[in-house]
Amino acid sequence: MPETRPASSPAHAHAQGPVRGNDYEAHFQGALARLHGERRYRVFADIERIAGRFPIANWRRPDGATSEITVWCSNDYLGMGQHPEVVAALTDTARRCGVGAGGTRNIAGNNSPLVDLERELADLHGKEAGLVFTSGYVSNQAGISTIAKLIPDCLILSDAFNHNSMIEGVRHAGCEKRIFRHNDVAHLEELLIAAAGRNVLIAFESVYSMDGDVAPIGAICDLAEKYGAMTYLDEVHAVGLYGPRGGGMAERQGVMHRVDVIEGTLAKGFGCVGGYITGSAALCDAVRSFAPGFIFTTAIPPAIAAAARASVRYLKRSNGEREAHQRQAAATKRALEEAGLPVLATETHIVPVMVGDAELCKAAADHLLERHAIYIQPINYPTVPRGTERLRITPSPFHDDARIATLTAALVETWDTLDLPRAGTVFAQAAE
């Protein structure tokens, strides 16, 4: 903010070094030291995915040497990121159209592959329209905040376990909000009764990605209809994966037409990048017209739009990947349970193995990578509550039975070596 700069501090002062004796670096170092102190400092493995060989990847060690590892924590749930039709759509379109979109859609117009993708997504969810954003994160943040701002005196009712992108959308909406207990329709109804006569937006997810549990979508729609509320559903961990055409959990439960706004990502089950909302034509047009997170950022590249559309189209007609995905996820859960590992029971494809301690969780992940060439990123606070740290395992159709057996043996060895808690342990959430 140049207008608030004191006269004694000219604009070029920073070029001559600090003039006020402030040690800004110390703030960053201090913040990192606090993270280290709480054992929350995150290290990302440096890996290179290998098209055609998923889930095998090259791991570049800190010393620069490379070795092959098996990835067990990817959200490219079906391996669509390497699917020949998806890769071909990307490369063909990049050759035809080049790489970048050339600007925001307000400046550079729509690119045709993106228009086609939005039609494809609207059809996937049985809605009038779709609107694509640069990521699922942005679609939630921009979508929820803009929708709620356009509704007079809106009250947002938000599930307690909603993803950070939805929480940010709620915050940016600037309106009143109430949090309902996770998946608790009785609590939601209490809040709806208390809000009688008001405009209400209910924001929730279908598949919660850390515990792998599923929302009672139909029951929430019942309440929304009874009390005149609107529904906004994040299907990020379900699109492509559930429903006869990959429309998500709402499609599978036969309630897709009852949800007002369905949000999804192109980055997980569809294996690309980008996010979207689908809903009524007026709603999507209004968000297009008013959401800063849509207006002021460059559109996704045409090649990405074409790749994502190829992925969506393929998964509309092919069930084999979904069936193999569920089969291998169930086989993984069974094998780990039989080995006495503390698998959290889930109804979905997500396989959390509980550790309950941040340091041990990281130690287990390090041991698996270094000793067994198995990559599973540790999941610690704030992604999950303290005391419920875990390894989050995501089997895909490409994690075959032999790989499951190798994983099971590696986990058992790791649990023995580090003396980690077995099945039957109660993992209590630590008080914040």
Ligand X SMILES: *Cc1c(COP(=O)(O)O)cnc(C)c1O
Give residues in contact with ligand X (CB under 6 A): 135-137, 140, 163, 165, 205, 209, 234, 236-237, 265, 267, 275
Residue 268 annotated to the active site: yes
In whole angstroms, how close is the CB of 207 to ligand X at the nearest point? 8
In whole angstroms, how close is the CB of 404 to ligand X at the nearest point? 24
| Between 234 and 389, CB nearer to ligand X | 234
| Between 303 and 363, CB nearer to ligand X | 303
- Beta bridge partners, 232, equal 203, 261
Helix axes 84-97, 302-317, angle to 10 degrees: 150
In whole angstroms, how close is the CB of 163 to ligand X at the nearest point? 4
DSSP 8-class letter at 13: G
> Would you say 191 and 213 are in contact if contact means Cβ atoms under 8 Å apart?
no
In whole angstroms, how close is the CB of 279 to ligand X at the nearest point? 17
Cβ-based neighbours of 270, under 8 Å, separated by 6 or more: 80, 239, 240, 308, 311, 312, 315
DSSP 8-class letter at 161: T
* CB-nearest residue to ligand X: 136
| Between 268 and 322, CB nearer to ligand X | 268
**CB hemisphere CA count around 153 (13 angstroms):** 5
> Would you say 427 and 356 are in contact if contact means Cβ atoms under 8 Å apart?
yes
* Cβ burial, residue 254 (10 Å; 0-12/13-18/19+): exposed
Order of all β-strands in the sheet with 378-379: 351-354, 390-393, 378-379
| Between 275 and 415, CB nearer to ligand X | 275
| Between 231 and 408, CB nearer to ligand X | 231
In whole angstroms, how close is the CB of 106 to ligand X at the nearest point? 22
Here the contacts of 30-39 (C-beta below 8 Å, separation 24 or greater) are 38/358, 38/381, 39/358, 39/359, 39/362, 39/380
User: Active site residue: 127, 177, 268, 362, which one?
Assistant: 268
Q: Which residues are catalytic?
A: 268
